[in-house]
Amino acid sequence: MTDHPAGRRGFVQERVVSFADCDPARIAYTGRLADFALEAIEAFWSDVLDGESWFEFNLDHGLGTPFVKMEMEFSAPVTPRCKLSLHVEPAALGSSSIAFRIEGFQERRSCFVGRFVCVFISIESFEKIPVPGWIREKLERRFEIPKPAP
Amino acid sequence: MTDHPAGRRGFVQERVVSFADCDPARIAYTGRLADFALEAIEAFWSDVLDGESWFEFNLDHGLGTPFVKMEMEFSAPVTPRCKLSLHVEPAALGSSSIAFRIEGFQERRSCFVGRFVCVFISIESFEKIPVPGWIREKLERRFEIPKPAP
Amino acid sequence: MTDHPAGRRGFVQERVVSFADCDPARIAYTGRLADFALEAIEAFWSDVLDGESWFEFNLDHGLGTPFVKMEMEFSAPVTPRCKLSLHVEPAALGSSSIAFRIEGFQERRSCFVGRFVCVFISIESFEKIPVPGWIREKLERRFEIPKPAP
Amino acid sequence: MTDHPAGRRGFVQERVVSFADCDPARIAYTGRLADFALEAIEAFWSDVLDGESWFEFNLDHGLGTPFVKMEMEFSAPVTPRCKLSLHVEPAALGSSSIAFRIEGFQERRSCFVGRFVCVFISIESFEKIPVPGWIREKLERRFEIPKPAP
């Protein structure tokens, strides 16, 4: 895991595409690409929040960030013959939600683009809550994040 | 797997939500919901095409149907305490593509809605091809499918 | 899911082998076969305990049944072209453990045999506990289970 | 991925344990531990064979290495709170088979030990073949591997 070349914009995760990730068509299975995007978001949090991510949100902070929306467009198959780079960028930070833009590359060729939206909730009440201050602060210190359209 | 109550409209798959499908938040993991939708589409083909689906497309018919788009909106968590019903409906049939609408229910409560688009390709050339006649025929015999917006 | 032909001996789960379960060798991936065996054990509990299984053990009964051992021998590849039957049999019931024998068949051909051992623990203490009476009773009412070798 | 401290003995893969790898008991799901072991073996090959592994075996060399046996013993739960180190060691090299010993550690505590056996086959005939010379050579150049008991 390394910083994005344009570090103010995003976070990059590199991963192997394994045999198990691929299907009889001999490319990565569509469902695995969704998993890859999700794992990259999990790694994004861990990178931004000094090791804390979904598990700690749930277990230590009484916090959940369920996905309310995911969209992916696939433009090229993902092969196990080379690594996959996942670029994660916080695309919008609302009062109680965050949107991510994710793009997957193999050898500089874009394979897919995704947009994922999460809301922050209290695990107790399962109700929406404002983005916690300690998270907002670390996000804004590191990234320039557009506000969502009102 | 049973026919949809409104059989002209779609296909319904019922499935157990297993322990492995759930995460430490104790609900089905988002990535698994994408897998469930994909498996329901695979089962849709098998039901419509008398047992043939993605594997046979690839191995026996030189045919691929890669996804070019997936969209999901999540409105309620999916729990392992009850079964999940996946309603699959062909939403648009173009000259070389098909769109599916998928809705997941638990005890008649809608948990998520998805839209998935596939294109038909030749595995040899990896180029788009028209929807094969034998597939189009079986689809149209069973469902009333809107044409996609031009 | 149906009862085993020899109902006093075990439980049988039938499942589809999906495109996602298969790898570029065009047979079910080894790791998926382990998952299938585990899911069959989960279904065994649900069948024996009137709908309760690992999730309810953990969430409602303060009970865990972690695996301490798994062994699988593979004798034939598993293909997505036909269904897979998983025969689950309680092979030994100790004071605080249970062993399962699992065999996977496709069209009456044995594909793999597994042996899985779980211990009963309290989730609070993470210490071994005796097999709870309500579970032992339902197991013994239905199956003739050997005691483990002392 | 780094060399084992005792480089003549094995190969070490480090991995994150993700939210998706964990179940409602809030530890890594048993089936995922089997997957981790398998992925570590895949990474072992890639490390030993300069980037080639199962996919290249199948697609480029007409070679398969199906598992005939897997055994795992679990001694401590695997938590997402720290990384998992997988130590892979070729434990026996026969005329047409290889056995691996795998041990999983978190913060120097052993969590599980596994033994996996693969046979080399021709994909054409699905029959056993001798370990290909180019593979045997690279294995023996790097590791001291016991012969299996006759």
Written as six digits, the tokens of D25 are 């008991």
Which residue does chain D place closest to A53, by CA atoms? D19
pLDDT in tens, A23-65: 999 999 999 999 999 999 999 999 999 999 999 999 999 999 9
What pLDDT sits at residue C3? 41
Model pLDDT, residue C9 = 74
Q: Nearest chain C residue to A32 by CA: give it.
A: C20
Residue partners of A53: CB distance under 8 A and separation at least 6? A42, A43, A45, A46, D19
Count Cβ atoms within 10 A of the Cβ of residue B46 and give its class: 0-12 exposed, 13-18 middle, 19 or more buried: buried
Q: Which residue of B has its CA nearest to D26?
A: B24
Residue in chain D lying closest to A20 (CA): D39
| Min Cα–Cα distance to chain A from C34, Å | 13
CA distances to A89, A118, B104, C15, C90 from A70, in Å: 14, 9, 15, 29, 42
Q: What pLDDT score does A146 carry?
A: 82
Question: Taking CA atoms, what residue in D is nearest to B22?
Answer: D23
Q: Looking at the predicted structure, is the pLDDT value of residue A4 above 70?
A: no
Give the closest of D23, D38, D67 to C74, CB-based.
Answer: D67
Exposed, middle or buried by CB within 10 Å (0-12, 13-18, 19+), for A113?
middle
Distance from CA of B59 to the nearest CA of C (A): 9
Task: Give A81's contacts in chain C (Cβ within 8 Å).
Answer: none
Which domains are delineated in chain A?
2-142 (3.10.129.10)
Cα of A140 to nearest chain D Cα, Å: 25
**Interchain contact, B24 vs D20, CB within 8 Å:** no
Q: How confident is the model at residue B136 (pLDDT cuts 50, 70, 90)?
A: very high
Q: In this structure, what are the phi and psi dihedrals at residue C128, rounded to the nearest 5 degrees?
A: -55, 140
Backbone angles phi, psi at D46, to 5 degrees: -60, -35
Q: Chain D partners of C34 at a C-beta cutoff of 8 Å?
A: 30-31, 34-35, 70
D22–B23 CB contact, under 8 Å: yes
In chain D, whose CA is at the least distance from the CA of C78? D66
Contact at CB, B42 and C19, closer than 8 angstroms: yes
Average pLDDT over residues B64-92: 98
List CB contacts (< 8 A) between B67 and chain A: 30, 74
Confidence of residue B148 (pLDDT cuts 50, 70, 90): confident
Interchain CB distance below 8 Å, D71 and C68 = no
**CB environment D29-57: b (16+ within 10 A), e (fewer):** bbbbbbbbbbbbbbbbbbbbeeebbbbbb
By the CB < 8 Å criterion, does D49 face chain A? Answer: no
pLDDT at B6 over 70: no
Choose among B16, B26, B56: nearest Cβ to C59.
B26
More confident residue, A9 or C128: C128
How close, in Å, is residue D69 to chain C by CA atoms?
4
What confidence score (pLDDT) does residue D146 get? 82
Q: Which of D26, D43, D46 sits opposite A59 (nearest CB)?
A: D26
Selected for mutation to probe chain A from D13, D15, D17, D19 (highest A CB count within 10 Å) is D19
Interface pTM, i.e. ipTM: 0.93
Among B20, B35, B54, beta carbon nearest to C38: B20
Contact D80 B24 (CB under 8 A): yes
Residues whose CB falls within 8 Å of the CB of residue C15, separated by 6 or more in sequence, listed in order: C36, C39, C83, C84, C86
CA distance A35 to chain C (A): 13
The confidence score (pLDDT) of residue D150 equals: 63
Q: What is the mean pLDDT of chain B?
A: 93
pLDDT in tens, chain C (150 residues): 344 444 567 899 999 999 999 999 999 999 999 999 999 999 999 999 999 999 999 999 999 999 999 999 999 999 999 999 999 999 999 999 999 999 999 999 999 999 999 999 999 999 999 999 999 999 999 998 887 766
DSSP 8-state secondary structure symbol assigned to residue A26: S
Distance CA D17, CA D35 (A): 12
Q: What DSSP character marks residue A2? A: E
Point out the residue among D18, D38, D56 whose CB comes nearest to the CB of A42.
Answer: D18
Chain D nearest-CA distance from A81, in A, is: 8
A102-111, A140-149, B68-77: least confident range: A140-149
D18 touches chain A (CB under 8 A): yes
> Does the CB of C22 have a partner CB in chain A at under 8 Å?
yes
C-beta separation of D72 from D112 below 8 A = yes
User: Could you tell me which chain B residue has the CA closest to the CA of C27?
Assistant: B55
Q: How far is C113 from chain D (nearest CA, A)?
A: 10
Q: Is C23 part of the contact surface with chain A (CB cutoff 8 Å)?
A: yes
Residue D89 has what DSSP assignment?
E
CA distance D15 to chain A (A): 11
User: From the CA of C75, how many Å to the nearest CA of chain D?
Assistant: 7
Instruction: Give me the residues of B, 83-142, that contact A with CB < 8 A.
Output: 123
Q: Is C49 on the interface with B (CB under 8 A)?
A: no
Regions of chain D with pLDDT less than 50: 1-6
DSSP readout, A46-92?
A: HHHTTT--HHHHHHHS-EE--EEEEEEEE-S---TTS-EEEEEEEEE
Interface test with D, best of C26, C59, C70, C123 (most D CBs within 10 A): C70
- Which residue among B38, B58, B67 sits closest to A74, beta carbon to beta carbon? B67
Chain C residue at shortest CA distance from B21:
C39
Q: And the tokens for A111?
A: 């394979």
